[in-house]
Amino acid sequence: MKQSILALVLLLAVGCNPRLISPTVDIPPRFAYQSGESVPLADSAYQATEWWRVFGDTTLNRLITTTLAQNNDLLVAASKITQAQQSLRQLRSQYLPSFSLGREVGISGQPTTQHYAIEPAASWEIPLFGSLRAATTQASAEVEYAQWQYRGVRLSLAAQVATTYYTLLKYQRDLIIAIESSRLRAQTARLTDSLFVRGLATGLHREQALSLLYTAQADIPLYEQQVRQTMVTLTALTGSSVQDTTIYKQLEITRLTDSPSIDIPVGLPSDLLYRRADVASAYATLVASAAKAKQARIARLPTLMLTAEGGVVSDDISRLFKGDSWVWSTLLSFAQPIYRFGALKSQERAAVELYNQALYAYRQSFITALSEVESALVEIATTRRESERYRALIASNDRISTLTRALYGNGLASYLDVIDAERTLYNTQMEYSNIIAQQYLAYIKLYLSLGS
């Protein structure tokens, strides 16, 4: 008989694990657009690093430090970690014995009788077939999920601040170009007006010069507006009120430097499994889903409950603590679900499907991570080549504009040549400013996609 019971228990223990697909991903040996050799990063690289310091901008460092200290979204993410940890502690306590103390004073019956009782009790649902381990695994995975979510919010906030900051520098550079172009066009307009007075230029040339000047002047308020709006966005990211002008006073913004060249050890594609917050979060969700599926299977198996009660009971309060007033009882109950119209089986199948969904999401998160890294590497290489060509193009167009104005002042070039040269130079400068900003943003995207 004992051997039969033991065999039954072993059979149930073997069958308490649902059939789940293994969480594997197809990892390429290296990034397709990576330059140099693929080498694994040091263990210290897996930790959250202050990657933004590679840009060497003290203002950016101060902005991100302020944001990480007081941004409300990050505070919410930190609070969720504490909440998950408390839930884990609460769950563990559910699998420990519970104790209670009952006190009773009653009157009943005809004739009237009195009774008094003080009855402590203890109960314990003995965790069979790994139910405690499965529940703890799920709760621990949820804690890990919250921790990775916090890291993801932290990285995302730093990237948003850096992106907004370099966008601000781009608008400021555009504003400087517009102001400088306006100054040069004002000089050309005065020269044209002087030539018109002396009969060396037509009225059409004069109006065209004024039109160029007004065009440049009209761009100035637009870029001033973009600078102010971007500063407001930057203030909000730091967790400050828009009315708080402290952030404006602290900004010591310099001109956007040309062509940042930063060597980034991107490592192996497998590093993304340990560095990317979204990939790690998806894996934590997968682990929690597997534990939940196991709990659904265990719910179909027997449960064992141990209950113990004792205390003192008497119809006379003066004899309540006498030796003959002591009573106690213990109960060991064994319950096995028999038939619930398929509810438990459907619950298990639903839990398995949730696991499958988490598995697909985990695989897709890794594919997305790979594509984002590759895209950032391509963008860095492309903008680097574009910036080199545009620097040469700006230098050439600047010489053409200077020579054309000089030739026009000596009557050796038409004013149409001056108009064309100035417009080309202005447009080239604006396009170059945009390419430089894109190059900075591409580096930020790379750090973000690497999960640094």
- By mean pLDDT, which of 47-56, 147-156, 169-178, 239-248 is the weakest? 239-248
Mapping DSSP onto H, E and C, the string for 186-247 reads HHHHHHHHHHHHCCCCCHHHHHHHHHHHHHHHHHHHHHHHHHHHHHHHHHHHCCCCCCCCHH
Task: Please check the confidence at residue 276 and state whether its pLDDT lies above 80.
Answer: yes
| Both structure tokens of 191 | 């020269």
230, 171 Cβ separation under 8 angstroms: yes
> What distance in Å separates the CA atoms of residue 152 and residue 448, rounded to the nearest whole number?
9
Lowest mean per-residue pLDDT among 188-197, 259-268, 337-346: 337-346
Is the pLDDT at 341 greater than 80? The verdict is: no
pLDDT band at 37, cuts 50/70/90?
A: low
Task: Tell me which amino acid residue 440 is.
Answer: Y
- Domain 19-95+129-301+346-450 classified CATH 3.60.20.10? no
Rounded CA-CA distance 170/429 in Å is 12
Query: What local confidence, expressed as pLDDT, does residue 363 receive?
Result: 92
Q: Answer whether residue 380 shows pLDDT above 60.
A: yes
Residues ≥6 apart with Cβ < 8 Å to 235 = 241, 242, 244, 247, 248
User: pLDDT at position 355, please?
Assistant: 87
Residue-wise pLDDT for 295-315, tens only, equals 777 766 666 565 656 555 555
Tokens 């909440």 sit at which residue?
83
3-state secondary structure the chain: CHHHHHHHHHHHHHCCCCCCCCCCCCCCCCCCCCCCCCCCCCHHHHCCCCHHHHHCCHHHHHHHHHHHHHCHHHHHHHHHHHHHHHHHHHHHHHCCCEEEEEEEEEEECCCCEEEEEEEEEEEEEECCCCHHHHHHHHHHHHHHHHHHHHHHHHHHHHHHHHHHHHHHHHHHHHHHHHHHHHHHHHHHHHHHHHHHHCCCCCHHHHHHHHHHHHHHHHHHHHHHHHHHHHHHHHHHHCCCCCCCCHHHHHCCCCCCCCCCCCCCCCCCHHHHHHHCHHHHHHHHHHHHHHHHHHHHHHCCCCEEEEEEEEEEEECCHHHCCCHHHEEEEEEEEEECCCCCCCHHHHHHHHHHHHHHHHHHHHHHHHHHHHHHHHHHHHHHHHHHHHHHHHHHHHHHHHHHHHHHHHHHHCCCCCHHHHHHHHHHHHHHHHHHHHHHHHHHHHHHHHHHHHCC
Q: What is the mean pLDDT of the chain?
A: 76
Peptide linkage before 127 cis (omega within 30 of 0): no
Helix 415-450, helix 131-197: angle, nearest 10: 170
Domain map (residue ranges) of the chain: 19-95+129-301+346-450, 98-126+302-336
Query: Residue 47 pLDDT more than 50?
Result: no
Rounded mean pLDDT of 132-141?
80
94 pLDDT above the threshold of 70: no
pLDDT at 71: 82
Average pLDDT of the segment spanning 69-77: 84
Q: Mean pLDDT over residues 78-86, rounded?
A: 85
Topology annotation, domain 98-126+302-336: Outer membrane efflux proteins (OEP) (2.20.200)
Fold: same for 19-95+129-301+346-450 and 98-126+302-336: no
The pLDDT of 64-86, averaged and rounded, is: 85
Evaluate if residue 258 carries a pLDDT over 80. no
Rounded mean pLDDT of 51-56? 87
pLDDT higher than threshold 80 for residue 226: yes
Give mean pLDDT, residues 122-144: 73
Q: Which of 132-146, 169-183, 206-220, 298-312 has the lowest mean pLDDT?
A: 298-312
**Closest alpha carbon to 61 in 47, 50, 74, 70:** 50
What mean pLDDT comes out for the span 315-343? 58
pLDDT of 318 > 90? The answer is: no
Partner residues linked to 260 by β-bridges: none
pLDDT interval class at 80 (50, 70, 90): confident
- Is the pLDDT assigned to residue 441 strictly greater than 60? yes
Q: Which helix (H) or strand (E) holds 25?
A: none
* pLDDT-derived band at 164, boundaries 50, 70, 90: very high
CA 281 to each of CA 42, 155, 274, 305: distance values in angstroms, whole numbers, following the listed order: 22, 14, 10, 36
Three-state DSSP at 12 gives helix
In this prediction, residues 181-187 reach a mean pLDDT of 82
Q: Does 205 or 5 have the greater pLDDT score?
A: 205
Residues 308, 330 contacting (CB under 8 angstroms): yes
Would the pLDDT of 108 be above 70?
Answer: no
pTM of the model: 0.76
